[in-house]
Amino acid sequence: MRLESYIDHTILKPTATEEDIINLCSEAKAHRFHGVCVNGCHISLAKKELLDSPVKLVAVIGFPLGTMSTATKILEALDSIKNGADEVDMVLNIGWMKSQQYGLVLEEITKIKEACGPVVLKVIIETCYLTTNEKLKACELIIKGKADYVKTSTGFGTEGATFTDVILLKEKVGNKIKIKASGGIKDRETALKYIKLGVSRIGTSSGVTILNVP
């Protein structure tokens, strides 16, 4: 098992500079991370920096609140893919989820996945804001909408990934879709435990530290 192959090396802070993005991509190539995860405005630059590299380029859309219109999220996804994104991480509309507007949530996931086509789509459910039943229902909708992953967190909520949530999500989704744990993962021991619990990807800004600290 290559730990680095699970990691999406991430910078999503609003203060990220061009130099930060260039360094992120350089580190990802040097450490052979699975991917880099950036905001939409940095996609073109990251694509240029990752040219001729196996490192995947991951774009976030509807980030970090998930409250944009479905049409806006679709355009954002299409623009990111056009500019070179290999994968898309979208934020669920949490307000719709908590209002039990499940039809709207499903329609949005379905339409965005249709727009993405073969591009991997991960749906961020922001677990810190959802009840247990809402988390389970969100997983059902993600599966029905034909997305590829459920992702725990944006890293901008009140809490990131937890072992308890990953266990819950894995019990629900089984092997139907994959799981990405993100938010607050800063050390090797934690990362390895998430992998043991069944996650297929880890989103973190601490990838270099995770690899280099035993």
- Inter-CA distances, 38 with 6, 26, 139, 203, Å: 16, 14, 24, 11
Q: What is the mean pLDDT of the chain?
A: 97
Residue ranges per structural domain of the chain:
3-212
Q: What is the pLDDT of residues 37-47, one digit of tens each?
A: 999 999 999 99
Enumerate the β-bridge partners of residue 179. 150
Instruction: Say if CB 104 and CB 96 are below 8 A apart.
Output: yes
Q: How confident is the model at residue 127 (pLDDT cuts 50, 70, 90)?
A: very high
- Inter-CA distances, 117 with 84, 86, 112, 114, 147, Å: 14, 11, 9, 5, 10
Return the percentage of the chain with pLDDT > 70, whole number: 99
The CA distance from 106 to 113, in Å, is 11
What pLDDT is recorded for position 214? 60
Enumerate the β-bridge partners of residue 201. 180
The yes-or-no answer on residue 98 being catalytic is: no
pTM: 0.97
Residue 210 structure tokens: 């995770």
The CA distance from 50 to 40, in Å, is 15
Q: Which of these is catalytic: 8, 89, 148, 165? A: 89
Q: Which of these is catalytic: 137, 172, 178, 180? A: 180
Q: Which of these is catalytic: 73, 135, 137, 151? A: 151
What pLDDT is recorded for position 213? 64
Q: Compute, in degrees rounded to 10, the torsion defined by CA atoms 79, 100, 110, 185.
A: 60
Q: How confident is the model at residue 68 (pLDDT cuts 50, 70, 90)?
A: very high
The yes-or-no answer on residue 180 being catalytic is: yes
Q: Pick from 72, 121, 120, 65: which is nearest to 93 by CA? A: 65
The yes-or-no answer on residue 89 being catalytic is: yes
Domain 3-212 has CATH 3.20.20.70: yes
Average pLDDT over residues 148-172: 98
The CA distance from 165 to 132, in Å, is 9
Q: What is the pLDDT of residues 20-32, one digit of tens each?
A: 999 999 999 999 9
Average pLDDT over residues 176-194: 97
